Structure formats: C-alpha cells, structure tokens
Amino acid sequence: MKYLENWEGSMDILGTVYTFLVKNNEGKYFESSSITYRRKLNVFFEYLINECNLTDNNGEDILRGMDEKKFTASVIYYVEQYNIQFSSTVDNYLSVIYSYFRYIRDSFRIVNNIIDSEEKLKKLKGYITSKTKEYSLITRKQKSPINKDVYKEWIDYCDECINNPKNDLIKLIGYNKAFTDFVSAIITKLVLLTGLKIKCIKAITLKDYDFQLNMIKLNNFWIHLPNNYAKQIRKYLEIRNSVVNQDTESLFINIQGKSLISNASMFEVLEPVIGSKEAESVAKYVIMQQIKVGIPLGSIKKLTGFSYETILHCAELVEEECDINDQHEINRQLDSKLRAMALFDKL
C-alpha cells in the first residue's frame, strides 16, 4: 500500500486497515481477495491524504465526518486518477469502502452517520451514480477474475482427475463421472493455459492438434503445449479413440463418442473448487497474465474469442495493480521500452 505504508500518520488508523485486511483475506475470487481490498483502500487513503489533509491527529474525525460530497469526491478522484472505465470497478471500490466503514464501526466504534443509515446510504449510491454519468462508464456487468491461489488449486485438481481417475474411464453403461471429470479437466487446463472462450473450445477439431509437435491450433494461432499437459492430451486421445464410434471431428467428446456441447459438462471440475461451473473468471485471470507479459490486446482478443470490452476490463485491473507497484520499477520498464523503439535513435 504505497500511500499507507509511506504515511507517517496515526498507527491507530493504520491498525484498523491492517486488521480489516486480515479479516477479508478469505475470498476465492480476485475482487474478494486481500490484494483488491488493499488496492481500493490505498486509493481511498490516497484521496484522504491528498484532498482531505489526513494527518496523525485528525484520522478518526475525518472518517467520522465523511459526508455525501466527500464519498462522491473520492469516487471521482479514483475514476480520474486511475482512468477507470467500468462501473463494476467503481462498484467494487465502494463495496470495499462500505465494508471498511462497517468494520471500524463494529470493531473500533468509529461511526459514520451515512454508512450507519440504510436510507442515507441508498441516497449516497444514487448521488454517486448521477455524478459519474458524465464519465460514460461501461455499465455491462463484469465477472471478477480468480486469484493465483485458486488458479493453482484448479491445476492440482485437474491433474488429479486426469492422472488418478476414480473409476474406469471407458465404462459405457450409465453415467460415467470419471470420464466426464477427465474430459472436463483436459478442457479446463486448456483454458488455464490460453484463456479460451467456450465457443472457441467447441470449434476445435481433431485436425487442430499436431501430435508430433505438441501444438494445437486455436483461432488460427498455433500454440505449443507444456510438456505435462501434452502428455495428458495424448492420454486423452488414447481414451478418445477407444470411445468414439463414429466420424466425429470435434476434439472433445462425451462418453457416447459425440461432440461435447454441454457447457456444464465442459467445466464440471470447476464446481468442487468454488461451487460454480463458470469459466470466464478463470479465463480473465489468464488474460491478465497475457497482458502482463506484453501480448497485444488485439492478439488476445483473436486468440481467446472474448470481446474488447472483456479484454479492456482485464487491462484495467492489470493497470490498477501496476499503479500500486514500485514506481521506480515502473519507470525503469517504461524508459527501457521507449529506448527500444525504432524512432528513439532517429530523434
């Protein structure tokens, strides 16, 4: 927390922040995790320090005295300073701030009259909405990416379903959960690697996989597969060949040997981890990693099949993360990229 860690202010106020973060370090999804709570609170206290003259002596008074205009001003500060484009990002910011104020009310008796009143809080939300209209924020609801801990948990769970199936994978009588989980794990790992959208997964054919080169063609991009995943794909193809009983071009099939078209079956293995078969949250985490390594947004769109709106939301989240990183490191990277441009020497 750049501003909070460097602020030589009241340790009592800092203590409320740190204990709040510890309390809210249990979320599975990215927007429920401590990294997001920390980021949003950093912006809020940055506003308090820069715009409300927060000091060692007035912390509690300022928190108690936050009114409709100041809460709204903190949102405007967030939108303008960090170039926020999505209303969902603002909603997440407000959710964290509301949670923090409820926490300091219940734990430290620092009561804010607006947060403490459902009627005033509802009025505040309406006021904020009206004041942010001029910024033309994108209002489409955006799903939150998972965090890195859940990402690793899914990899481990998928590997378990692939490498140690609980039942006979080619049992053809009745419902074969082992086979369903096996195929679902193979598909989920493909999403964990590429961030692919469901419709793009359904379009993959057997001819799109190069057995010798361990490469797969996705939306006209040829992608190398990690060694372990390539072995698992080969295992899947062996099972597939023993199950399929017709000319099925689709790479992924069900136990009847037909093209797999059920979204629920495709992501069956997601549910035991977080209670959902929704893969977009997984894909968005992967897209964020693609953005971090410098893959152009247009290329990510073409590869994954997601809209620019979704890609831009991921880019906004990545940019927010960068804004709270070491400024010296950001400066070093930016300077290096500028000097690498062809026009640099011409100037």
Higher-scoring residue by pLDDT: 136, 1: 136
Burial class (CB in 10 A: 0-12, 13-18, 19+), 8: exposed
What's the pLDDT score for residue 168? 74
| 192, 286 contact by CB (below 8 A) | yes
Q: Give the model confidence (pLDDT) of 100-116 as tens digits.
A: 999 999 988 999 999 98
Determine which helix (DSSP H) or strand (DSSP E) holds 216, and give its type and residue range. strand 215-218
pLDDT value at 48 more than 70: yes
What's the pLDDT score for residue 324? 53
| 233, 341 contact by CB (below 8 A) | no
SS (H, E, C) 90-121: HHHHHHHHHHHHHHHHHHHCCCCCCCCCHHHH
| 39, 13 contact by CB (below 8 A) | no
Q: Give the model confidence (pLDDT) of 283-293 as tens digits.
A: 999 999 999 99
Helix, strand counts (H, E) of the chain: 18, 3
pLDDT value at 27 more than 70: no
From the centroid of its chain, how far is CA 233? 26
